[in-house]
Chains A and B, each alone.
Chain A
């Protein structure tokens, strides 16, 4: 408790050298300017924006949303088939857990369902694409996930499943295994126990970051299962996934962030317990993204698994600056388009490609936002003072 002396002697007052090894300098910090705050949210300032009361339910938008949900939800037969496929594979993996001696290449500790299928937020893949409906399983190994072990696990599964499923193809990917059966797929995400993480070598084993991701997927799934139960929440997750599928600028928004965002938008209702209807929550999600929720200088969303805010997560920032910018300007453009032409944004009606160039939407000249940070640009460059003064608009009188 008590601390009267500084931790380090005066000549070591700066960060001690050994800390560098496990805590790299916080590169994002340059842009946070030591001050980050919560992003603006209409719900936090109801007194200034009284008209919010009437906007809770937007009948026009609700109708469009319902129409779109119909379109993107997979047919019952499809999801039944996917369930069968997934449960067969699960059975086989469970056998490996129960009788480890029957398989020597690796030892399976546990198998868990994760992902959109488990949470009932799965959506149809885009029409015309070859991407199958997928469900995800996380397999935690007790042993190290070497490439050979993964291949052997694949072979073993293939042997076991040979008689039950036709048209089975198995390939190993950088996250584990992918089992495909025509228009269905099951992704087996492999990981290992956290105690093994230190001894992972990317030349021999699965990549460490991927192992961590897969492991965290279990925790995320638990949280989503427990907390995100409101139908409005699930609806919003579907809508956002659909949006991400159609506008590739939203790509940086990974499924976990989508879940967090949806949960935030539906439930964080200015200290009231009332859950917001999907029409308002959808708009709110886009508003938050447009107000720079994930831009530097904002806290981002609270991540209950890491117990920190997403933008402040230390070891590795969730997005690069380029991705932050891309996510922000795409959602800003979509937000403006939503106000003018909601059917286009939600995908129930075709329109001109708003990202292609200036176009006319419902009588309004519409220009998409442009990126300001580029991949190849040294985006952290400090402002050049002389240039700053020279470029400045002359206002002498």
Chain B
């Protein structure tokens, strides 16, 4: 690269193809609030291949707690040891401690000490009764039990009340019950932390700590396909809400969708399906062996394994959700194939190397003209990929990519013209690459696999920000330069904030797909979606909720005129609105579309929203390209490209 002594650097040129395929679509390791350690930033960070082989962060998290505890212990008096114990509650050796709420320092409201045995979950009135309890046979038995307790069980467990329920229904009814209420109140009085899942009866099975489901069962659930869906009858009550499901094959009834799904995957259902419907159907009988193996291995595993399992569990939890399933499927379909990515990468590389040689030629030109100049000084400083390409947000229909050439000074029209003619020279002999000028950008078109692609090259300079001159005739227009700079900032912000979030890319792609197929959303820029997703993922735990929140933001009139708008986070010096360039009609349309989407999603018909597409012309470009008329095709694609180009331009200004 610098053989010629040219100060020429390449930014953002990681091989794209390797990255994008390795992105977690809906990652195996679904992290939630409880498991999200402060250092997990690296965990979901798939940008750099070298990081992928890092040890699981679970270990480091444990390590972190451990070391934090040690440091604390070194600085605190022994009496505060109990607090540390509480912090390490998952380590079973120290299972009980004396919790005294009314230390003179802590809480003046309560007048009595409360002694609480963690193991037996009993509150004792006084010290003597507490000690009596500790020495009692019941307590000892409990303690031994709890130490031998298997970590795996096919149950739902209420941590607070220490109740094991074998079904989610029983668990729910427990959470509603008065006993549970009392326990919660007592714990509140004691000032103990109540597990998240227990606080809200509506969220019975989401947090890892309370609910543990057999890992092997979950895995099986994923492998086995549900069969005989058509024999399920759905019963409704007067208000047209689902009352129950009825399986005609097995003659049984279910009250919720999960039970129905489990049944569909179950052996009994499969057997009766084989008996009554399709005698050729193979019932998988090897399940038992598998699960036994798993059981044996899992009981031997350590804390780490429990973590894995919980993560796994959470992952499965989200998967049971219809909307998540749908989003995953959608994402599968819109993510570009390896072949396409390879082709894009090759094309971009070609253009980049061409630009490089242009830079060399320009450099030699200047050195010939005035030899006193330092040879290292060249007008072109570097080249950067911007936009979707480097953010890994491409979907299959994307055909327009952006490059920015960074110049030392404010680029002149002269320079632009030189660059353009040099590029034209390079590709003079190659028939499949054409070069056009479009306002202040150079557009390079090519045909790969009967597929037209376009790279738009724009010029900018870092010095332009401090330059307050208005447009001067000989320079390129300031707005286009600023747009290009803005795009570079956006990429930097994206890499710092969004790539570290696990499901961000997948969600953004899904939303971008909607902008491609819905006319109302065409003016919604990718940058705006990125900012919104970033906001929501910081707040919510699951990708589906994040998706819904984005729709809520927009449906709630975020971008309607006269409403609070969105700040561009990478512009720190001034508060700038991400939707500045939209007119009232576009604002209204975007909001309208989001409102429809929100309601579809709330009523469980997210798929219908994505199926509504009112841009037939766009759909043509989605389909396999086998046009007889080449001209037509290139025209339409060009139109499409320039159209989206315009949008892009709009959004950046």
Contacts and interface: CB of A to CB of B under 8 A. Distances in A.
B206 interface: yes
Interface stretch (B119-127, B216-224, B385-393): B119-127
A141 to B, nearest CB: 29
Contacts of A286: 557
Contacts of A317: 239, 241
Given A40-B552, A393-B613, A55 B240 contact: no
A13 B236 contact: no
B171 to A, nearest CB: 10
Given A10-B166, A380-B241, A1 B122 contact: yes
A397 B535 CA distance: 33
A6 B163 contact: yes
Contact of B170 (A15, A33, A382, A393): A15
Interface stretch (A206-214, A345-353, A366-374): A366-374
Contact of B240 (A35, A39, A322): A322
B206 A339 contact: no
B553 interface: yes
A377 B240 contact: yes
A321 B240 contact: yes
A169 B201 CA distance: 50
Contacts of A378: 234, 236, 240
A379 interface: yes
B560 interface: yes
A245 to B, nearest CB: 23
Interface string A325-366: 100110010011001100000000000000000000011111
Interface string B558-578: 101111111100000001010
Contacts of A322: 240
A3 B256 contact: no
A27 B182 contact: no
A277 to B, nearest CB: 15
Interface stretch (A72-80, A114-122, A287-295): A287-295
A395 B509 CA distance: 13
A288 B561 CA distance: 17
A391 interface: yes
Contact of B183 (A1, A35, A283, A375): A1
Given A8-B170, A31-B602, A380-B236, A329 B595 contact: yes
A35 B203 contact: yes
A379 B585 contact: no
Given A30-B257, A380-B234, A380-B242, A51 B595 contact: no
B202 A339 contact: no
A278 interface: no
B247 to A, nearest CB: 14
Contacts of A58: 562
Given A377-B240, A395-B622, A13 B165 contact: yes
B256 A29 contact: yes
B602 A296 contact: yes
Interface string B588-605: 100110011011111111
A325 B623 contact: no
Given A292-B555, A340-B561, A365-B585, A35 B206 contact: yes
A293 B152 CA distance: 39
Given A34-B206, A49-B566, A27 B239 contact: yes
A44 B330 CA distance: 31
Contacts of B299: none
Interface string B145-177: 000000000000000011111110110011010
Contact of A3 (B179, B241, B596): B179
> Chain A: interface secondary structure?
loop
Interface string B334-352: 1011011000000000000
B611 interface: yes
A48 B497 CA distance: 14
A379 B548 CA distance: 20
A36 interface: yes
A55 B241 contact: no
Contacts of B437: none
A335 B560 contact: yes
B542 interface: yes
B555 A332 contact: yes
Contacts of A51: 564-565, 567, 575, 577
A30 B322 contact: no
Contact of B552 (A291, A312, A340, A370): A291
B47 interface: no
Given A290-B556, A335-B560, A6 B165 contact: yes
A239 B27 CA distance: 48
A27 B599 contact: no
B110 interface: no
B495 interface: no
Given A393-B611, A394-B622, A290 B243 contact: no
Given A3-B162, A335-B557, A373 B584 contact: no
Contacts of B164: 6
B323 interface: yes
A301 to B, nearest CB: 14
Interface residues of A, number: 91
A325 B120 contact: no
A51 B580 CA distance: 13
A17 interface: no
Contacts of A335: 556-557, 560, 591
A48 B206 contact: no
Contact of A369 (B167, B544, B557, B592): B592
Interface in A265-307: 283, 286-288, 290-292, 295-299
Interface string A130-165: 000000000000000000000000000000000000
A242 B122 CA distance: 56
A37 B545 contact: yes
A52 B121 contact: no
Contact of A312 (B183, B202, B241): B202
A79 B201 CA distance: 46
Contact of A1 (B186, B202, B584, B596): B186
Contacts of A380: 234, 236, 240-242
A126 interface: no
B170 A339 contact: no
Nearest to B333: A395
Nearest to B321: A33
Contacts of A296: 602-604
A336 B560 contact: yes
A32 B202 CA distance: 9
Given A13-B167, A291-B598, A40 B549 contact: yes
B412 interface: no
A27 B241 contact: yes
A7 B174 contact: yes
A103 interface: no
B188 interface: no
A19 interface: yes
Contact of B585 (A45, A364, A391): A364
Contacts of B330: 392
Interface in B289-305: none
Contacts of B169: 14-15
Given A25-B243, A372-B599, 15 more contacts: A3-B162, A34-B206, A40-B549, A49-B565, A287-B556, A314-B176, A321-B240, A328-B598, A380-B241, A382-B257, A382-B322, A383-B322, A395-B333, A397-B337, A397-B339
Interface of B: 120-123, 142, 161-167, 169-170, 173-174, 176, 179, 182-183, 186, 201-206, 229, 234, 236-237, 239-244, 255-257, 321-323, 326, 329-330, 333-334, 336-337, 339-340, 395-397, 451, 517, 535, 539-540, 542, 544-545, 548-549, 552-553, 555-558, 560-567, 575, 577, 584-585, 587-588, 591-592, 595-596, 598-605, 607-608, 610-611, 613, 619, 622-624
19 contacts: A1-B122, A2-B122, A19-B173, A30-B241, A48-B567, A287-B556, A288-B556, A296-B602, A297-B548, A325-B599, A335-B591, A339-B563, A367-B592, A379-B240, A382-B322, A383-B607, A392-B333, A393-B611, A397-B396
